[in-house]
Every structure is written in structure tokens, then in C-alpha cells.
Amino acid sequence: MELMPMVLYAGVLLQLILAGVAAAILFERKVIGYMQLRTGPNRHGPWGILQTVADVLKLLIKEDIIPHAADRKVFVLAPIIAFVPSFAILATVSWSENLYAADLNIGVLYFIGLSSVTTLGVLMGGWSSNNKYALLGSMRGVAQMISYEIPLVLSIVGVVILVGSLNLRDIVFFQESIGLWLFIPQFLGFVVYMISAIAELNRSPFDLPEAESELVSGYHTEYSGFRMAFFMLAEYVYAIAISALATTIFFGGWLGPDFLPGEFWFLLKMCFFMFVWFWLRATLPRARVDHLMNFGWKVLIPLALLNIVITSIIKVWMG
């Protein structure tokens, strides 16, 4: 793509993602509300549609507080470092056969590599706050993110072996050619991916970095106003991005019946994954930190490795 359309694409995508995050938060509160036999937000606009808008407005006009003892520069920089990679990874997502930004031949690697930068933002935020809860939260968060990044990557390796390409679009074309979505032949990999994705996202039942009963609010305890909004934004954009990745590599991307455009099928599948995150949040209690670590290292990583071995054997055997 030329420079101008590229900038335009990025600008439009940013607006759409912001609207999408607002919708996702409303969706989350409604889903959890109905699961707990209440209606959820219903005061602002019909069906509570303006609830998130009101929340965001509140966060934006709130007083900006930087603690006196905080390391000012790092404190200001941390939310940006956390947010930028979560948006940058969306560049490789191919929304339909014709609508995509970058046809990168190492798309999967780009996705995983850049998202690991978010860890730095979380760590910097927690550390520069000069607060014990923030520090503990960020250390937990980083330990969890680093541990669960390994099974997340390993679970994708099975797909990469089958397809023989790191290009996200090639993965979808491969699923089109075999006429099967990859979550069926790669079911073990899919399960490992889903579990480690939730831990990567710091979502319930693995939301230990911000366990409010023990850590107040985790690594963003000292953040308020729009800086806090930035952390929340990063979290939700990341949730959308991980859903998009799951859709692309396991659920056939934009593939679907022909009577509706590919973008619609892509968004529908993405919404399904978002619903799964919210569903789990409403139903499962929080895991304990040592259980979480044991589960990651002793169960998920061996399972992911087993998946790679089986996939390689089948690939060599089938030729």
C-alpha cells in the first residue's frame, strides 16, 4: 500500500477499534448482567447504549493525578507503551479477502513478538507508581504473561506446521483449500490456545494481576483518569486482537456462506470469542497464583509440545 491509504486505514481502524472497545465493554456488562439475573446498565440511552460513552467521558475529564513519589517520566510513558503494541498488532489482521493492511509473510511472529512488548508497559507502570500493591500486581502480571506466552506460541506452532506458512492470510487460504476449519484437526492446540489466551489477557478466572481482594487494583492502582483509561483500552484492544487471531488461525477467518460478505463472518466469529471471555468471567471463580503457575508450566506447556509432536508426525507421515 502507498503511504496515504496506509495512514488513512490506520486512522479509520483506530476510530473503529475505539468504538468496538466501547461496544465490547457494554456487551460485557450486559452479558454478565443477564447471567446474574439482572439487566445490567439500562439508564443511559435505550438499552443502556450510552453507558460506556458516559464512563469514558467521566474518565477523560477527571483530574489527572500523578503521585508525588512516582517516577514521573516512566509513569507517564507506561500506559502508552502498554497500548501502542496492542494496536500495532492489528496491522496484520486480514478482515476479509480484500480488506487488510499488511500481507506480512511472518504475520504470526509479528503478532506474538509485538504483543510481548506490552509486558514492559505493565512492568514500568507498576514499578514507577512507587506503591507496593502496584509493584506486586505488575510482578504477578509479568510472571503470568511470560509463562503463558510460551504455551500460546507453542499452540500456534501446530497450525504453522500444518500450513507451512507464517502468513495469516495463507493460513486462511489453506483452510479454504482443505474445506475444514483448523480447530478440528488442531483441537488440542485450540484448547491450549484458548486457556493461555485468557491468562495472557489477564482476564478472569486468571485476573490475578488485578485481584481486587488482595491487590486493590494491581499494576494500575495509582493510575486515574485518562491514563487508567489507556490501560483499560490496551486490555480490551488486546482482547479484540487475540479474538481476531483465534478467528484467523482456528476458525477460518473470513470464510463463511456466500450470501454475506467476509467481514461480517469475521466479526461474528470474533464476537463469539469475546462472548467466551465474558462468559468465563461470569461463571468461574479466580484461580490461586501458585495453581496458575503450576498449571501453565506443568500441564499446558507439555500439552502444547505433545500437540507439536503429533502434528509433525502426521505431517511427515502424510507427506
Partner 1 sequence: MTGQEIMFIILALIAICCASLVIVLKRISHRVLSMAFCSFAIAGLYFLLRAEFLGIIQIMVYVGGLTVLFVFAVMMTDHRTTTFVPERSKVFKFVSFIGVGSLLSIMLIGILGMDLPAGTEPFIGTAEAIGLELYGNYVIAFLGVGILLLAALIGAIVIARKEADEQ
Residue 93, helix vs strand vs coil = coil
Return the sign of the alpha-carbon dihedral for residues 225, 230, 233, 235.
negative
Which neighbouring-strand residues pair with 94?
Answer: 100
Return the sign of the alpha-carbon dihedral for residues 308, 301, 204, 283.
positive
Contact of 51 with 41, CB cutoff 8 Å:
yes
Of 36-44, 105-113, 255-263, 290-298, which part binds partner 1 (CB under 8 A)? 105-113
108 versus 240: smaller Cβ distance to partner 1: 108
- Nearest distance, CB of residue 249 and partner 1, angstroms: 16
- Contact status: 161 vs partner 1 (CB under 8 A): no
Query: Residue with C-alpha cell 509486558?
Result: 119
DSSP codes joined into one string, 149-201: HHHHHHHHHHHHHHHT---HHHHHHHHHHHTS-TTTTTHHHHHHHHHHHHHHT
Of 25-33, 109-117, 217-225, 301-309, which part binds partner 1 (CB under 8 A)? 109-117
Annotate each residue in 190-219 with x if it binds partner 1 (CB under 8 A) or - if it does not, as one string: ------------------------------
Burial of 159 from C-beta contacts in 10 A (0-12 / 13-18 / 19+): buried
Interatomic CA distance for residues 148 and 144, integer angstroms: 6
- Nearest distance, CB of residue 104 and partner 1, angstroms: 7
Interatomic CA distance for residues 149 and 151, integer angstroms: 6
- Contact status: 128 vs partner 1 (CB under 8 A): yes
Burial of 46 from C-beta contacts in 10 A (0-12 / 13-18 / 19+): exposed
Selected from 25, 114, 228, 246, the binder of partner 1 by CB under 8 A is: 114
- Nearest distance, CB of residue 295 and partner 1, angstroms: 22
- Contact status: 113 vs partner 1 (CB under 8 A): yes
- Contact status: 278 vs partner 1 (CB under 8 A): no
Contact of 190 with 127, CB cutoff 8 Å:
no
Interatomic CA distance for residues 118 and 86, integer angstroms: 7
Selected from 73, 132, 288, 315, the binder of partner 1 by CB under 8 A is: 73
80 versus 180: smaller Cβ distance to partner 1: 80
How far is CA 264 from each of CA 1, 73, 199, 210, 212, rounded to the nearest angstrom? 24, 42, 28, 34, 37
Compute φ and ψ for 15, nearest 5 degrees: -60, -45
Of 110-118, 168-176, 200-208, 310-318, which part binds partner 1 (CB under 8 A)? 110-118
Selected from 23, 66, 99, 104, the binder of partner 1 by CB under 8 A is: 104
105 versus 294: smaller Cβ distance to partner 1: 105
- Contact status: 109 vs partner 1 (CB under 8 A): yes
- Contact status: 110 vs partner 1 (CB under 8 A): yes
- Nearest distance, CB of residue 235 and partner 1, angstroms: 18
135 versus 246: smaller Cβ distance to partner 1: 135
Interatomic CA distance for residues 101 and 8, integer angstroms: 11
Total residues in contact with partner 1, by rule CB under 8 A: 26
Where on the chain is the footprint of partner 1 (CB under 8 A)? 3, 71, 73-74, 77, 104-106, 109-110, 112-114, 116-117, 119-120, 123-124, 127-128, 135, 139, 142, 146, 166
